[in-house]
Chains A and B, each alone.
Chain A
Amino acid sequence: MHLVFSPADRAVDELIGALRRRGYVVVAPTVRESAIVLDEVDGVAALPVGWSDEQEAATYRLHRRDDRSLFAYAVGPYSPRRYLTAPRKTLWTALRAGDGFELVDDTAEPPPYAFVGVRACELAAIAVQDHVVRDGPHPDPSYVRARERAFFVGVNCGSPAATCFCTSMGTGPAVETGHDLAATELLDETRHELWVEVGTERGAEVLAEVQSMMSWRTATEDDHDAARHVITGSVEQMTRRLDPAVARDVLIANLEHPRWDDVAERCLSCTNCTLVCPTCFCTAVEDVTSLDGDRAERVQRWDSCFTLGHSTVHGTGSVRGDTRSRYRQWLTHKLSTWWDQFGESGCVGCGRCISWCPAGIDLTAEVAAIAAGTDR
């Protein structure tokens, strides 16, 4: 079912209201500290109205537009990952009891989240994370719960960044699966409307409430054309390329390529790429004890393969003791061995790692360099 709402900002505002009334905490893009980040919002006014972004290697800038666009930007440093897998959470608590201990769980359950404005690449990343933490023999119960309850309003990209390469990875720019609702902003001199596609029954239910609050129409052939035009426009704008099959084959076959030394000279091992990446899943688990020693919390937090102690052999030290080996691990895992482990690429082409790398390292360029240096 495809509907068009007019005006778009009212539609988004009513949608956020309908979701909040159902108990969702609504998470959407918002401007904060000169970036567009995800945060809890209570209405359309909190969205980056009239803002766009400009991204390149080691570059992220916001620009003001001269209109009231709602979604005229690409992705920022945060992704829904931080709501589905909290950066820090207590798994359980051990309380000293007698000569031993008891295990309790006194954490508060997180609220259900509704993501408004999530992009196709982010939905693809969530599917990749599903395969790691939900679909194996040991599903993470809190992820399963958060995932079931999460509501997704996808947005079809109209303004990809220069760092985007979702077309290469087959993950966008069109939202095709994983959404409860998907929207395309139709904005030109004559109109500012929201084209909406229903993805699930619960999506239809929420939309019905919006329909009862404002005017709408069934999408016409012209509306469909306009929506399609937004997507083809994005496809044409995307210039960065990565061939996932080439990357997969060429990296694993060239583990001693001199390019690894080259990138090691530039990489700061700062872990930014792993922090912004929506598919990275490494975590560390640690004990945090109370001062009196009677209570020990088992805490799980995000971790990064760029840390020195990430891979060790018990009692002898760090395996990847230099930046070269750690960068190689990250890239070969993301683009090569992820295929062996999960049957797909670990990369969704969102480009965040390129924008947020302070050294401006571009993995598409690294792959191209290694691929070019091997064909004889």
Chain B
Amino acid sequence: MPADGGAVATSAGRRLRTPVGPMVPTRYRVVSRQRETVDTVTIGLEPIDAPIGEPEPGQFTMLYAFGVGEAPISVSGCPRVEGALQHTIRGVGATTRALCRLEPGSVVGVRGPFGAGWGVPGAEGSDVLVLGGGIGLAPLRPVIREVLEDRQRFDRVAVLIGARSPADLLFATEIEAWRSRSDAHVAVTVDAAPRGWEGHVGLVTTLIDRLPITPTRATVFLCGPEVMIRVVARDLVGAGVDADRIFVSLERNMHCAIRQCGHCQLGPLFICADGPVVTWATAAPLLAVRRW
């Protein structure tokens, strides 16, 4: 199929063109598949057609599963760092379940990268706190990677990870590698744990007070269920963190990801373009309105 939008005649005599435009995906092949939890999988992709631009931490793509549909999925590993484009997908609907079932060798469509990212360079010189709850850790992994890889750009660094149970932790092996570092405070806590768990049990917010971080000098990257974001951000502000220095990642359903289908609106924001990452100062009044 010509890549220049040219026409090709088929045996049936109909003229086919290569589709072009922002709604047309580029094809990638699944090269790796790692089960993270009972319903979450991380897949690694390599391009078949021309690759998309290098994603920034916090950006997302629209992943297309043949015959099923597209879903917005946060990039959990950037090609420049991981060698492949990685996405961590939680299978809760038809499309995400189809994506979770894909074996290496399968072909998917990718559009993107879209959205406002975390803006890690803006945190240079400050204390950094990364707070991820549940699947919220996935879009934060590129942040953690970037911060730890270039550690001297930042002051004190802390990573707090919360999950329902040990079995629900993402990137378990990588978390251990992060915890073994002496230049960052990494703590994991779960809501409930079986015998044998030697880590924290309790809410992620209970760990905030004991961090070697100065709230008034901190930049926070926070992601998780919206209710968790609200409660944690409120506590952070109460502890002295500036609402303009708390970055949260929001989520809504998307059909286009290019500010034209209207589905992802939250008040004046298009989550696909003005987000998904916004400051807490921006998000707080919008999230306070019920059913907005």
Contacts and interface: CB of A to CB of B under 8 A. Distances in A.
| A and B assemble together | yes
Interface of A: 91-92, 94, 96, 99-106, 132-133, 136-142, 255-256, 281-287, 289, 293, 296, 298, 300, 303, 305, 309-315, 319-322, 324-325, 329, 332-333, 336-337, 340-341
Contact of A325 (B69, B105, B267, B291): B291
A333 B268 CA distance: 8
Nearest to A294: B67
Given A96-B66, A105-B19, A337-B267, 6 more contacts: A101-B107, A103-B18, A104-B19, A138-B258, A138-B259, A324-B291
Contacts of A100: 27, 29, 48, 66, 106-107
Interface string B22-34: 1111010100000
Contacts of B27: 100-101, 103
Given A313-B226, A341-B270, A101 B66 contact: yes
Contact of A282 (B64, B96, B263): B263
Interface in B50-109: 64, 66-71, 90, 92-93, 96, 105-107, 109
6 contacts: A91-B24, A94-B64, A101-B66, A282-B261, A284-B255, A303-B261
B14 interface: yes
Interface of B: 1, 14-25, 27, 29, 48, 64, 66-71, 90, 92-93, 96, 105-107, 109, 226, 251-253, 255-256, 258-265, 267-268, 270, 289-292
Nearest to B12: A106
Nearest to A284: B255
A165 B22 CA distance: 36
Given A101-B107, A314-B93, A314-B253, A287 B260 contact: no
Contact of A340 (B71, B107, B268, B290): B268
A351 B48 CA distance: 50
A138 B22 contact: yes
Nearest to B255: A285
Contact of B67 (A139, A281, A287, A310): A287
B24 A103 contact: yes
A289 B67 contact: yes
Given A91-B24, A104-B19, A287-B69, A281 B260 contact: yes
A45 B278 CA distance: 57
A104 to B, nearest CB: 4
A120 B277 CA distance: 40
B127 to A, nearest CB: 31
A329 B262 CA distance: 11
A283 B255 contact: yes
Contacts of A315: 90, 92-93
A231 B289 CA distance: 44
Given A99-B106, A99-B107, A104 B253 contact: no
B39 to A, nearest CB: 9
A131 to B, nearest CB: 11
Contact of A283 (B253, B261, B265, B289): B261
B146 to A, nearest CB: 25
Given A315-B93, A320-B291, A325-B292, A103 B253 contact: no
Given A141-B21, A285-B256, A311-B263, A102 B1 contact: yes
A305 B226 CA distance: 21
Contacts of A325: 290-292
A91 B67 contact: no
A142 B21 CA distance: 9
Contacts of B20: 105, 141
Nearest to A310: B263
B19 A283 contact: no
A101 B251 CA distance: 29
B261 A285 contact: yes
Contacts of A102: 1
A3 B290 CA distance: 57
Nearest to B73: A314
Nearest to B70: A285
A102 B1 CA distance: 8
- Please provide the 6 A-B residue pairs with the shortest distance between their CB atoms, ordered closest to farther: A100-B107, A315-B92, A282-B262, A340-B268, A325-B291, A92-B19
A320 B291 CA distance: 5
A281 B145 CA distance: 39
